[in-house]
């Protein structure tokens, strides 16, 4: 019978020759994104990914994949040599938890490791604070990837654990990894791991919470978490787990299975957030001549779009599309609480020049001040790069404009979630999206977004804007 010995971040698989071959097959994948890499194009890498390592003792793999293996090896023997942490049964928080937040903490208490999937605006940070309160450990780490989140989370933790909170990262010049509770930026901690700096502090971490844990598909997160080799409680927070099986297993391998999940419909039904209402604007801003010119310049086929093709399409038909941009400007004119989200800095600058709205991105020196003014209602409209799509608390949003197209369900729901926070008198958040009928790639993406809206139960109202009405505020 096959056997797994689990200790810390890793596990060891042993079995018969047939079981070993089955194991290898289950954890061997072809990466669909390989075609975009230089190694694949040069013939150096065949695109195959193996989620295991062969050793003299057996096959080494990430311990979070045990649940996946059990589905295929139902009789597998699991030997768990993990240590345990004492639980603080009577912990108190300064806020009253919602029912689903309380249930999420119950799942963490039982499972200790895994993923909690709760939509944007669902209050994931208070769940993290509850995790820190619930377990009695030596050291705690909350891992983030944006400086805005670094400040936001550390300020909240300081209220709960005054004088015991340290920050690492963000070029703030005050890195403190010695405190009991640390909020750290993964980029800075990754550089420390590579430099073998602070490794003893990493080893002291008993409780780890990873914010926006879907980013674990990248090696930066994985190496930082691997440095926390003695961690006992390891929880990832996300709005959506990756759909792609390989990416999902990369995340689950580090953290474990999804142990608690709340669909966005449940939050809306429970009155915890406001529901979205989608207005999909459909117009004739497509230029066939430009599209033909694009096809002649780029090597592509109908069924195999290259990354260069996608970048060129975005540049020509979204970023530099005068008719489409003018419609966006007309739709937000004179309105309050408007957040326009773009993917490319050039697009944000163009829309800012056309509308007079403030544009912020990762390198904007005044972005913190702008966020504060927007929350207070001192700024009616804000154009932002994706820095606001994950975790950052910016309230007061009445309208979310999805200016950049795309097909990612995760990004789509995160961006919509920016406007779903409750506010007095607020009954819905208006989502403005654009039906790009062509070229084929953008049309495909549009249909995929509409499919997401319908699956989520969001109302969708398609509005036609044609010829003379474009750019003249007539809908």
CA-wise closest residue to 22 among 64, 76, 62: 76
Q: Looking at the structure, tell me whether residues 442 and 401 fall in a common domain.
A: yes
Res 346: pLDDT: 95
Is residue 441 in a domain? yes
Q: Looking at the structure, tell me whether residues 285 and 162 fall in a common domain.
A: no
Q: Helix 367-376 to helix 147-160 angle, to the nearest 10 degrees?
A: 60
Domain end position, chosen among 262, 293, 317: 262
Do the strands 338-341 and 381-384 form a parallel or antiparallel pair, or are they unpaired?
parallel
Q: How far apart are CA 107 and CA 237, in angstroms?
A: 13
Q: How far apart are CA 27 and CA 52, in angstroms?
A: 7
Is residue 215 in a domain? yes
Q: Looking at the structure, tell me whether residues 276 and 255 fall in a common domain.
A: no
Q: Which residues pair with 25 in a beta bridge?
A: none
Q: Looking at the structure, tell me whether residues 44 and 141 fall in a common domain.
A: no
Q: Looking at the structure, tell me whether residues 417 and 452 fall in a common domain.
A: yes
Show the domain range for 245: 86-262
Res 193: pLDDT: 96
Q: How far apart are CA 182 and CA 279, in angstroms?
A: 42
What stretches in the chain show pLDDT beneath 50? 302-304, 471-475
Q: Looking at the structure, tell me whether residues 218 and 107 fall in a common domain.
A: yes
Domain end position, chosen among 52, 80, 108: 80
Q: How far apart are CA 145 and CA 184, in angstroms?
A: 8
66's tokens: 């045990």
Domain end position, chosen among 50, 80, 110: 80
Q: Looking at the structure, tell me whether residues 220 and 305 fall in a common domain.
A: no
Instruction: Give the angle subtended at the CA of 277 by the CAs of 467 and 452, to the nearest 5°.
Output: 90
Is residue 295 in a domain? yes
Q: Looking at the structure, tell me whether residues 186 and 283 fall in a common domain.
A: no
Res 42: pLDDT: 85
CA-wise closest residue to 107 among 240, 230, 237, 215: 237
Is residue 388 in a domain? yes
How many CA within 13 A on the CB side of residue 185?
19
Q: Looking at the structure, tell me whether residues 242 and 297 fall in a common domain.
A: no
CATH number, domain containing residue 70? 3.30.780.20
Is residue 474 in a domain? no
Alpha-carbon distance values, 349 to 283, 326, 361 (Å): 23, 13, 10
Output the pTM of the full model. Answer: 0.85
Total domains present in the chain: 3
Is residue 475 in a domain? no
Is residue 121 in a domain? yes
Q: Looking at the structure, tell me whether residues 125 and 202 fall in a common domain.
A: yes
Is residue 27 in a domain? yes
Q: Looking at the structure, tell me whether residues 255 and 332 fall in a common domain.
A: no
CATH number, domain containing residue 283? 3.40.50.300
- For residues 244 and 388, the answer to whether their CB atoms sit within 8 Å is no
Q: Looking at the structure, tell me whether residues 25 and 111 fall in a common domain.
A: no
SS (H, E, C) the chain: CCEEEEECCEEEEECCHHHHHHHHHHCEEECCCHHHCHHHHCCCCCCEEECCEECCCCEEEEHHHHHHHHHHCCCCEEEECCCCCEECCCCCCCCCCCHHHHHHHHHHHHHCEEEEECCCCCCHHHHHHHHHHHEECCEEEEEECCHHHHHHHHHHHHHHCCCCEEEECCCCCCCCCCCCEEEEEHHHHHHHHHCCCCHHHHHHEEEEEECCHHHHHCHHHHHHHHHCCCCCEEEEEECCCCCCHHHHHHHHHHHCCEEEECCHHHHHHCCCCCEEEEEEEEECCCCHHHHHHHHHHCCCECCECCHHHHHHHHHHHHHCCHHHHHHHHHHHCCCCCEEEECCCHHHHHHHHHHHCCEEECCCCCCHHHHHHHHHHCCCCEEEECHHHCCCCCCCCCCEEEECCCCCCHHHHHHHHHCCCCCCCCCCEEEEEEEECCCCHHHHHHHHHHHHHHHHHCCCEEEEEECHHHCCCCCC
* Cα dihedral 54, 58, 62, 68 sign: positive
């Amino acid at each position: 019978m096959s056997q797994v010995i689990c200790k810390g971040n890793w596990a060891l698989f042993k079995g018969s020759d047939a079981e070993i071959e089955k194991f290898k097959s289950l954890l061997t994948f072809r990466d669909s994104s390989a075609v975009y890499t230089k190694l694949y194009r040069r013939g150096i890498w065949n695109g195959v990914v193996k989620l295991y390592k062969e050793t003299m003792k057996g096959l080494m793999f990430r311990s979070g994949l045990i649940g996946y293996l059990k589905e295929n090896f139902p009789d597998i023997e699991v030997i768990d040599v993990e240590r345990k942490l004492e639980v603080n049964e009577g912990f108190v928080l300064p806020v009253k938890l919602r029912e689903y937040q309380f249930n999420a903490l119950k799942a963490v208490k039982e499972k200790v490791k895994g993923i909690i999937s709760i939509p944007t605006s669902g209050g994931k940070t208070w769940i993290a604070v509850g995790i820190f309160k619930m377990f009695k450990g030596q050291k705690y780490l909350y891992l983030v990837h944006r400086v805005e989140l670094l400040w936001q989370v550390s300020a909240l933790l300081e209220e709960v654990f005054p004088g015991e909170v340290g920050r690492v990262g963000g070029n703030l010049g005050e890195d403190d990894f010695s405190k009991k509770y640390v909020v750290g930026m993964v980029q800075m901690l990754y550089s420390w791991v590579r430099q073998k700096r602070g490794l003893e502090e990493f080893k002291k971490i008993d409780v780890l919470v990873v914010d926006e844990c879907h980013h674990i598909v990248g090696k930066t997160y994985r190496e930082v978490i691997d440095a926390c080799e003695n961690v006992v409680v390891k929880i990832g927070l996300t709005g959506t787990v990756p759909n792609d099986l390989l990416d999902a297993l990369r995340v689950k391998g580090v953290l474990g299975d999804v142990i608690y999940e709340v669909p966005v419909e449940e939050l809306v039904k429970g009155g915890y957030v406001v529901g979205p209402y989608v207005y999909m604007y459909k117009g004739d801003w497509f230029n066939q001549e430009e599209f033909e010119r694009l096809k002649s310049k780029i090597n592509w086929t109908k069924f195999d779009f290259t990354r260069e093709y996608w970048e060129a399409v975005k540049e020509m038909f979204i970023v530099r599309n005068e008719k489409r941009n003018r419609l966006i400007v007309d739709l937000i004119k004179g309105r309050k609480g408007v957040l326009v989200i773009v993917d490319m800095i050039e697009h944000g600058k163009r829309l800012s020049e056309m509308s007079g709205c403030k544009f912020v991105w990762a390198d904007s020196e005044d972005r913190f001040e702008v966020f504060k003014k927007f929350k207070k209602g001192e700024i009616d409209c804000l154009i932002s790069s994706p820095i606001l799509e994950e975790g950052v608390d910016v309230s007061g949003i009445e309208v979310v404009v999805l200016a950049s197209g795309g097909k990612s369900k995760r990004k789509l729901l995160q961006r919509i979630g920016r406007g779903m926070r409750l506010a007095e008198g607020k009954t819905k958040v208006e989502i403005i999206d654009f039906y790009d009928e062509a070229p084929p790639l953008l049309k495909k993406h549009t249909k995929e977004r509409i499919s997401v809206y319908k699956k989520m139960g969001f109302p969708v109202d398609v509005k036609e804007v044609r010829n003379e009405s474009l750019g003249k505020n007539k809908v």
